Chain A
Amino acid sequence: MSDDFLSRLHEEPRPEFAEQLGEHLREIDTHARERRLAPSAYRRFVPALAGAGLVAALALAFTLEPVRAAAREFLDLFRVKRFAAVPVDPQRLERLAKGGLDFKSLVADQVQVVVAPEEPALVASPEAGAVDAGIVAQLPTVLPRRTELAETRVARPGTFRVQVDTAKLEALALAAGADEIEIPAWWNGATVDVEMPPVLALRYARTVEAGEGRPPREDSFLLFQAATPQVELPEGFDLAILGRLGLRLAGMSADEALSFSRAIDWRATFLVPVPVQGGTFREVGVSGQRGLLVTVQPPRRTAPAPEGPARRAHSVLLWSTADKVFALQGPATHDGVEILEMAQSIQ
């Protein structure tokens, strides 16, 4: 049966439409590139919170390669209960990278994306966002002066699976000068699943009027909350070994790494990297929980400042409850008092 007659409706799109749409798509790429280059609080901190359980698996992520399927019937869990600061020397990491340690390709090669991450999506209200994120929203009742809720988003950081390649872990230990660390041979091919629940992200903002020689600016306070992320580990998987490797990479001596490693519960502690230069941290109490307040100063400029807003010090407060993790980031004013007051009022 001929169906030629059905093709008669076919028509070419208008050339000007095709051109305009093509141009529009190129603009999307241009804007996306600009966003990637611009510092964005959301971009930087959503993964930081959502990947809370992830840090313990970071060293794995450095080095993994699918070798063989691991038996996954026996699993241990990593769940975030507390936070610990780890001084990290960024220059050391840069030196290692320059020495041929290609972190980026090692990660890209070994991580399988099970559920792809999604850009944070704007939602109508914290309540709507909480429903979307599958949590009960907890909101601050005290805000810094002239500060209001500006927007609410829900981010879905995704789910990842990594497979251990012991040869690469050993190569990494060698590069870090950590030959005292022995990587168990049975780890080879073991699978680690990292599940990062949806994150409710609230941005509070205030406008700071122009001052003497200072342009007006907007300060943002970002509150993130999510169900506790979790990492599924093969039974008997000793995170302390991996943790020590990470600490050695970060710049600790063998003795320091061993001592630190013995002092923490690797199955419940989220390590927060703090730059050795310009970073400070202290433990604080938040609603009966132990939190970690980290303040990071912008690096000193060695060249004239480029145009754009001045880079300012900021603080991040991290804490957890029985079933949720929180992060609150904002300007590092008054020794973090504004952030602490805001966090203490969350109900």
Chain B
Amino acid sequence: MDGVRILEWLALAVPVEGVDWDAVYREEMPRVFNYFRYRGFERATAEDLTSATFEKAWRARDRYRKDRAAASTWLLAIARNAATDHLRRSRATVPLVEASVPDERTPEEAALRGEHIRRLRELLSELPGRERELLALKYGAEATNRAIATITGLGESNVGTILHRTIGTLRARWDEGGTQ
């Protein structure tokens, strides 16, 4: 029925802003992946959650409103929900340490870096959930304090304060452990 076709035209009225989604994928995928890694998920789980985040975003991207938030912020909000859902479903506990040693020039460098990573993961795992999430957004996803405030609902200055305090605590513990 042609009336239906006219109604479908209304659906086309959903504003599709000029967003280069391929570019968004290239730029934001590593950030989203690292957000999950900093949250403490193992690599395989982080990949699964990254896939789920982009799949959901991809299917809904026609409804993304550029005037409301940057695409990166929108994606991180979806990622955050994906992490919450995953933890709720699996009641997962994040691993304290994961033996992930990237390629290095020498075995000594690899060992040292592996030790740093193990130590850092251990320190992160000791943080309360909120502080760890803010660090994951800041250092994993490289989000600005303003974006973090939008995603978490905290005030921007509050985000800055919590991050500053948390980094100070971590720095002290890092130095105590003799890791430089």
User: How many residues on the B side are at the interface (Cβ–Cβ under 8 A)?
Assistant: 47
The 10 residue pairs across chains A and B that have the minimum distance between CB atoms: A273-B3, A111-B13, A116-B63, A47-B7, A13-B33, A108-B13, A107-B9, A6-B139, A48-B4, A25-B58
Interface residues in A300-329 (C-beta closer than 8 Å to B): 316
On whether the beta carbons of B34 and A271 are closer than 8 Å, the reply is no
Please tell me if B171 contacts chain A, counting CB pairs below 8 Å.
yes
User: How many residues on the A side are at the interface (Cβ–Cβ under 8 A)?
Assistant: 56
Distance from A128 Cβ to chain B, minimum over Cβ atoms (Å):
19
Instruction: Using A10-B139, A21-B29, A25-B58 as known contacts, say yes or no to A58 and B3 having CB atoms under 8 A apart.
Output: yes
A220 to B93 alpha-carbon distance, docked (Å): 46
On whether the beta carbons of B2 and A10 are closer than 8 Å, the reply is no
On whether the beta carbons of B38 and A9 are closer than 8 Å, the reply is yes
Distance from A147 Cβ to chain B, minimum over Cβ atoms (Å):
24
On whether the beta carbons of B10 and A54 are closer than 8 Å, the reply is yes
Please tell me if B161 contacts chain A, counting CB pairs below 8 Å.
no
A1-43: contact bitstring with B at CB < 8 Å (1 yes, 0 no)? Answer: 1110111111111100110011011001100100000000001
Q: Which residues of A contact B (CB under 8 A)?
A: 1-3, 5-14, 17-18, 21-22, 24-25, 28-29, 32, 43-45, 47-48, 51, 54-55, 58, 61, 88, 90, 93, 103-104, 107-108, 110-111, 113, 116-119, 160, 271-275, 279, 294, 296, 316
16 further contact pairs, Cβ within 8 A, besides A18-B29, A44-B1, A273-B3 = A8-B116, A13-B29, A13-B47, A17-B50, A25-B25, A25-B55, A51-B10, A90-B2, A103-B6, A104-B12, A107-B12, A108-B12, A111-B13, A117-B14, A275-B1, A275-B2
A294 to B3 alpha-carbon distance, docked (Å): 13
On whether the beta carbons of A104 and B33 are closer than 8 Å, the reply is no
A245 to B58 alpha-carbon distance, docked (Å): 40
Q: Which of B3, B102, B174 contacts A5 (CB 8 A)?
A: B174
B12-33: contact bitstring with A at CB < 8 Å (1 yes, 0 no)? Answer: 1111000000000100011001
On whether the beta carbons of A25 and B54 are closer than 8 Å, the reply is yes
